[in-house]
Amino acid sequence: FRIMAGKVKWVTDIEKSVLINNFEKRGWIQVAENEDWNFYWMSVQTIRNVFSVETGYRLSDDQIVNHFPNHYELTRKDLMVKNIKRYRKELEKEGSPLAEKDENGKYIYLDFVPVTFMLPADYNLFVEEFRKNPSSTWIMKPCGKAQGKGIFLINKLSQIKKWSRDSKTSSFVSQSSKEAYVISLYINNPLLIGGKKFDLRLYVLVSTYRPLRCYMYKLGFCRFCTVKYTPSTSELDNMFVHLTNVAIQKHGDDYNHIHGGKWTVSNLRLYLESTRGKEVTNKLFDEIHWIIVQSLKAVAPVMNNDKHCFECYGYDIIIDDKLKPWLIEVNASPSLTSSTANDRILKYNLINDTLNIAVPNGEIPDCKWNKSPPKEVLGNYEVLYDEEMAQSDGTDRDLRGRPGQPTGVKGSRARDSGKPVLTTWK
> Which pLDDT score is estimated for 23?
46
Name the more confident of 74 and 62. 74
Q: How far is CA 255 from CA 252, 270, 337, in A?
A: 5, 24, 17
On the question of pLDDT at 302 being above 90, the answer is yes
Q: How far apart are CA 266 and CA 244, in angstroms?
A: 19
Beta pairing partners, 262: 223
- The dihedral through the CA atoms of 85, 73, 23, 370 has a sign that is positive
Q: How many of the other CB atoms lie within 10 Å of CB of 15? A: 13
Q: Give residues with Cβ within 8 angstroms of 156, minimum separation 6.
A: none
> Contact, 312 vs 180, CB < 8 A?
no
Contact 381, 312 (CB under 8 A): no
CB 242 within 8 A of CB 225: yes
166: pLDDT strictly greater than 70: no
Give pLDDT, residue 426: 42
Q: Give 58 or 189, the one with higher predicted confidence.
A: 189
pLDDT band at 237; cut points 50, 70, 90: low
Query: Regarding predicted confidence, which is higher, 277 or 420?
Result: 277
Task: Report the pLDDT value the prediction gives residue 267, as an integer from 0 to 100.
Answer: 94
Check pLDDT > 70 for residue 333.
yes
Bigger pLDDT: 319 or 397?
A: 319
Q: How confident is the model at residue 328 (pLDDT cuts 50, 70, 90)?
A: very high
Q: Helix (H, G, I), strand (E, B), or coil: what is residue 212?
A: strand
Overall pTM > 0.85 = no
With 50 as the cut, is the pLDDT of residue 232 above it?
Answer: yes
Q: What is the pLDDT of residue 225?
A: 84
pLDDT reported for residue 254: 67
Q: What are phi and psi of 119, to 5 degrees?
A: -120, 140
pLDDT of residue 424: 38
Query: Nearest-CA neighbor of 202 among 289, 271, 95, 323?
Result: 289
Mean pLDDT confidence for 61-78? 92
pLDDT per position as a tens digit, 86-126:
999 999 999 999 999 999 889 999 999 999 999 888 888 99
Do 306 and 189 touch, CB atoms closer than 8 A? no
Give just the sign of the alpha carbon dihedral 193, 194, 198, 200.
negative
358-379 per-position pLDDT tens digit: 887 777 788 888 888 888 889 9
pLDDT in tens, 186-230: 998 999 999 988 999 999 999 999 999 999 999 999 988 888 888
Residue 330 above 80 pLDDT? yes
pLDDT score of 247 more than 60: yes
Determine the average pLDDT of the residues in 237-255.
66
- What confidence score (pLDDT) does residue 49 get? 84
Confidence of residue 69 (pLDDT cuts 50, 70, 90): very high
Confidence of residue 255 (pLDDT cuts 50, 70, 90): low
Instruction: Name the pairing type of β-strands 63-64 and 38-41.
Output: parallel
CA 217 to each of CA 2, 191, 211, 313, 342: distance values in angstroms, whole numbers, following the listed order: 30, 23, 20, 10, 15
